[in-house]
Structure 1
Amino acid sequence: MIEDTMTLLSLLGRIMRYFLLRPETLFLLCISLALWSYFFHTDEVKTIVKSSRDAVKMVKGKVAEIMQNDRLGGLDVLEAEFSKTWEFKSHNVAVYSIQGRRDHMEDRFEVLTDLANKTHPSIFGIFDGHGGEQNTLLQTILEAKTAAEYVKSRLPEALKQHLQDYEKDKENSVLSYQTILEQQILSIDREMLEKLTVSYDEAGTTCLIALLSDKDLTVANVGDSRGVLCDKDGNAIPLSHDHKPYQLKERKRIKRAGGFISFNGSWRVQGILAMSRSLGDYPLKNLNVVIPDPDILTFDLDKLQPEFMILASDGLWDAFSNEEAVRFIKERLDEPHFGAKSIVLQSFYRGCPDNITVMVVKFRNSSKTEEQ
């Protein structure tokens, strides 16, 4: 009996070695287990396989897109995708502005110069709006699509008129560029608030204004648009400082007013606004946690002997530091837009999700500046 059992076990062992341990048998077994798992049991396996297929499709699609862009000219195809692309060039100033990855375009800019008569300093402005996209009530109240457009259409012209009056009797006036800037910026904010109060509208905008005369540069800033200057030695000189809720000075002021800041993607006043000063923004102004007061700085051009300055919305500064932006533009001043177009597109390539507007102003002592 024992002998018969041993003979049977020996036979089974030989059968297993012959069939199960053969490479083709093991291969078929593995395939069978995989198919069984896929069709009958593990959802995880199905998810992995499906994700792999989707990844392959995505890669194929991206490769095809790149190849198509290369065939059609790359940059031209990219620019064609922007719903709003604005450009401006006149004498010593150039601007390039794109909607980028945002659904709406809320950046605005303005340039007012008087090269012939010089009845007032040249006026350069950057305005970055928020909260007004496709708001039909806002358009009715402000007679503008965005808060930035409202400020752009009114503030530079008001400044021009007051500066002309000031230049006529400059020696006897108690005013200055700084006081005129402050008065007009606060005045336009009051105008906006009177209109926005009607609908409790949250629309607002930054305001970056530069006044350029023969000897001085005066810059007023409200919000987080920013200016930077390249001096004679190639150094980056800040023309403004961002008004951000996390800054100690701003945080203390907000707390004194009974407000708070919280993190929601970025530090925000009352969990809403990512800047601590702006024009407009009625509900937050009513709480006095956001204010319109501009910081105003004046720079001696004879001392600095600047080559150029950059004024830009925060879309640029999300991708470039002051120093990097100055180096980038300095190498591209010979381009048609003085490097403004190149740095805007580079900011987009780096992943900036915002509207991007860049203004480059070349100074007369620059070796590359055109004759005015």
Structure 2
Amino acid sequence: MTLLSRIMRSVLLRPETLFLLCVSLALWSYLYHTDEVKTIVKSSRDAVGKVVEMIQNDEEFSNTWQYRSHSAAVYSIQGRREHMEDRFHILTDTLNKSHPDIYGVFDGHGGQSASEYVKSRLPLMLRQQLQKESSVQSHQSILTQQIFNMDREMLDKLSASYDEAGTTCLVALLSDKQLTVANVGDSRAVLCDKDGNAVQLSHDHKPYQLKERKRIKKAGGFISFNGSWRVQGVLAMSRSLGDYLLKKHNVLISDPDVTTFDLDKLRPQFMILASDGLWDAFSNEEAVHFIKQRLNEPHFGAKSIVLQSFNRGCPDNITVMVVKFKKRAVKAAGQ
């Protein structure tokens, strides 16, 4: 028996024997289970085809929004989320060029009511104040004050109906020589300068950051890890508009970071304003490089980078706004 066992092992475990066995099994499966094999192959092909078709065909995405003008384009998809909570707004004054253009991206959470409210109200509030003040030096103070006003107004409205929704707020004011960016939350703005380098225009507000963590702890709150660091184990950002329950406990604030940039120095090519759905899939440098190669597309690359983010597995709503800058003359030495 021992000798027989050794002989069987030496025969069955030889590479050529195993190869012939695999070939035999494959032939048997094909000859006697052809229908089942065809069904499996067809089902797999249909599933793959549906994903490809969904990526290529706008109508396959529920709540797909897009916008195009001569200088700005937006592409926004619901993606894999159950609800579409992203919003965006572009407000330009074609009659009075002295007024800055207003660009905004608002990434809602806990429902769409907060992002929808900010989208419909904040750009108009900003426009009214900007029309009263012609000095570009006042843009920072106007943005800060109107964002605070917006938050107070929204908290009164949403808390009255026990609506716990909140939203990020990313707004850019673009005048002839100056760009001012305000941010609350983790939506992000990135610019491509004259040399093709990525310049981050906004500051993400995340609970794990030392400054934010100290502030939350001082207010009596905490952060915990649940897939990502979250305030009170709930919210993955440390600042927002809305979220009245967390504001009630003072662990969340609406203070914006506001920064101004000199366009004559940067001589930018374009800027990207996007919800964190993009930045979960792309670094700043990757996004700038990707868009730079696709500025001649109808959406200036916004549609392509949104679909690529989805293809990389992003589970979130994805909104990308690309704003092209006009070419600026190079100043002569001594000017």
TM range (shorter): 0.7 to 0.9
Name the aligned partner's letter for residue 126 of structure 2: L
Amino acid at match of 1:225: S
2:91 is aligned with 1:124: no
1:87: which partner in 2? 66
Structure 1 residues 61-100: aligned runs within 5 Å: 61-67=43-49, 75-77=55-57, 79-100=58-79
| Unaligned segments of structure 1, at least 5 residues | 1-12, 22-53, 133-144, 368-372
SS at match of 1:336: coil
Deviation, structure 1 residue 127: 0.3
Q: What number of residue pairs does the alignment pair up?
A: 297
1:153-232 aligned at under 5 Å gives the runs 153-167=120-134, 170=135, 176-232=138-194
1:109 and 2:84 aligned: no
Give per-residue Cα distances to partners, 1:342-367, cap 9 Å, x unaligned. Answer: 00000000000000000000000179
Give 4+ residue runs of structure 1 displaced > 6 Å after superposition.
56-59
Query: Does residue 288 in structure 1 map to residue 250 in structure 2?
Result: yes
Give the counterpart letter for 1:124 in structure 2: Y
Write the distance in 2 (CA, Å) between the matches of 1:308 and 1:277. Answer: 27
- The CA deviation string for residues 253-283 of structure 1, in whole angstroms up to 9 with x for no partner, is 1011110000111110000111000000001
Identity %: 71
After superposition, the Cα gap between the structure-2 partners of 1:68 and 1:189, relative to the gap in structure 1 and judged at 3 Å, is: closer
121 and 351 in structure 1: CA distance in 2 versus 1, 3 angstrom threshold:
same
Q: Which has the larger radius of gyration?
A: 1
Structure 2 unaligned blocks of 5 or more: 9-35, 330-335
8 Å CA contact retained: 1:308, 1:363:
yes
- Residue among 298, 306, 325 paired with 2:260: 298
TM norm structure 2 = 0.84
Aligned match for 2:293, one of 309, 327, 331? 331
Q: 1:74 to 1:98 in 2, by over 3 A?
A: closer
Shift of the 67–182 alpha-carbon distance from structure 1 to 2, 3 Å rule, reads closer
- TM-aligned CA distance change 1:74 to 1:357, over 3 Å: closer
Distance (whole Å) between structure 1 residues aligned to residue 67 and residue 291 of structure 2: 17
Match of 1:359 among 308, 318, 321: 321
| Offset of residue 59 of structure 1 | 6.7
1:82 positional shift: 1.0
1:146 equivalent to 2:113? Answer yes
Q: Is the 8 A contact 2:167 2:241 kept in 1?
A: yes
Cα 1:177–1:76 change in 2 (3 A) is same
Name the SS for the 2:220 alignment partner: coil
Q: Structure 1 residue 62: deviation in Å? A: 2.8
